Structures are given as C-alpha cells and as structure tokens.
C-alpha cells in the first residue's frame, strides 16, 4: 500500500501544480479581455491574434484545470447524499464513480479525439482567420492533455479509495486545496 500512497501523492501533486499554474491564466485572460475591449472601443483597433488568445486561454484553463477540479472535489456529485456517508461509503462511491464513469469518459474522449488531433498535427493547423494565432494544432492537443490529467487524477482517486477501504487512510478524497 505504500506504493499506492506514493502514486496517489505524486498524481495529486502533478494536478495541484498544473492547476495552480493554469490559475494564473485566469488573471492573464481577464487582462487580455480588457485590452481587447479597450483597443476595440477606444481606438477602433481589432487584433485577431489578441482576441483569439483569450479564447485559447479559456480553453486551456478548463481543459488543463480539469484534473485539479477532480482533485479538489469541484465536480458534480449529489452532495446531499454523499456528505452524510461515512468514509468507507464515500470511498465506495468514489471508486465506483471513477471506474464506471470517469475512466470510461477519459478513454472515450481520448480515443475519439486522437484522429482529430493527429490530423491537426499532420496539417499543422494554423490560424482560423487572417491575423489569427498560428499553431491551432497545439491548442487541439490540449484535449489529450485533458484526458491524461483527469485520467491520472481518476487513478489517484481509485488508489485513495482503495487505501480507505483497506484502512490505510482516513478520507477517500482530498479535502480543500491540494488535498491538505
């Protein structure tokens, strides 16, 4: 079980670091939106690459931040029922949810998006409009990053749940930021 605990800690740490890094994009995106608005409405200047960049940041925030959301229990669940259960019952619910829903979802999205991302890399997809951001294939790759990060966090959730069920840990899921 020590190896499982180390794996859970490493996967939690990865998504914690990614989530905190991605969180800075929220500030940058807000600044970007302000600049786009200001340039457009004060100076009548339209920069396609600047406008597209906040759409990119928005996508990256949600896709790369998904594992962090799972880590910190920010996903949808029926908390009215869940919070009234003891640690073992929550562990069973988390284990079932991760194996029956999260893992198949991550695998299906990865499977279905792989050809889309591979084709984008083959063509080296560029800007959607004149003056737009090049390298759209890189943005499309974030779909696979999303699948990887939520899949890894799902594995951590499974490991943590197993540890609770084997009386190796008190709680099945992380509590608060970073699971601390």
pLDDT 10s digits, 132-160? 899 999 999 999 999 999 999 999 999 99
pLDDT at position 177 is: 47
pLDDT at position 19 is: 97
Of 15, 122, 137, the C-alpha closest to 69 is 15
CB 22 within 8 A of CB 106: no
| The total number of residues written for the chain in this structure | 180
- Report residues of the chain scoring pLDDT below 50: 175-180
Report the distance separating Cα 175 and Cα 109, nearest Å: 28
Enter the DSSP assignment of 2: H
Question: CA triplet 57, 127, 150: central angle to 5 degrees?
Answer: 40
Report the distance separating Cα 115 and Cα 122, nearest Å: 10
CB atoms within 10 A of CB 72: 20
pLDDT at position 24 is: 96
């Amino acid at each position: 079980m020590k190896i499982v605990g180390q794996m859970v800690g490493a996967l939690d740490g990865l998504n914690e670091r990614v989530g905190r890094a991605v969180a800075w994009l929220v500030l940058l995106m807000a600044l970007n939106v302000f600049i786009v608005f200001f340039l457009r409405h004060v100076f009548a200047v339209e920069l396609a690459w600047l406008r597209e960049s906040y759409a990119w940041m928005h996508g990256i925030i949600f896709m790369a931040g998904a594992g962090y959301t799972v880590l910190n229990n920010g996903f949808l669940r029926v908390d009215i029922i869940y919070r009234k259960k003891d640690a073992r019952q929550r562990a069973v619910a988390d284990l079932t949810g991760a194996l029956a829903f999260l893992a198949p979802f991550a695998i299906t999205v990865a499977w279905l998006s792989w050809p889309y991302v591979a084709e984008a890399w083959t063509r080296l997809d560029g800007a959607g409009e004149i003056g737009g951001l090049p390298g759209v294939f890189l943005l499309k790759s974030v779909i696979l990053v999303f699948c990887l990060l939520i899949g890894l966090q799902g594995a951590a959730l499974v490991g943590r749940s197993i540890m609770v069920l084997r009386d190796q840990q008190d709680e099945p899921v992380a509590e608060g930021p970073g699971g601390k």
